[in-house]
Amino acid sequence: MAEGEKSKRHLYEVKDDKLVRLRDECPKCGPGIFLAKHKDRVACGRCGYTEFSTPKSRSTE
């Protein structure tokens, strides 16, 4: 594997003998295509689908 490249192992976890996907899948592309997590959004690298997360409002006291 090239330097800086990640394996796909970090996308899955095994719990109670079942495979659990740790990231959401793209609603447009379907199963097997995961959404990349960024600070303020999740995005699909294949089709460009993006969901922006809402900023948490700070309460003034």
Mean pLDDT of each 10-residue bin along the chain, 61 residues long: 70 91 93 91 96 75 50
Q: What is the pTM of this model?
A: 0.66
Which tokens is 51 given? 């969901």
**Confidence at residue 54, expressed as pLDDT on a 0 to 100 scale:** 83
Is the distance from CB of 15 to CB of 21 less than 8 angstroms?
Answer: no
| Dist. CA 29–CA 5, nearest whole Å | 23
Beta bridge partners of 42: 37, 51
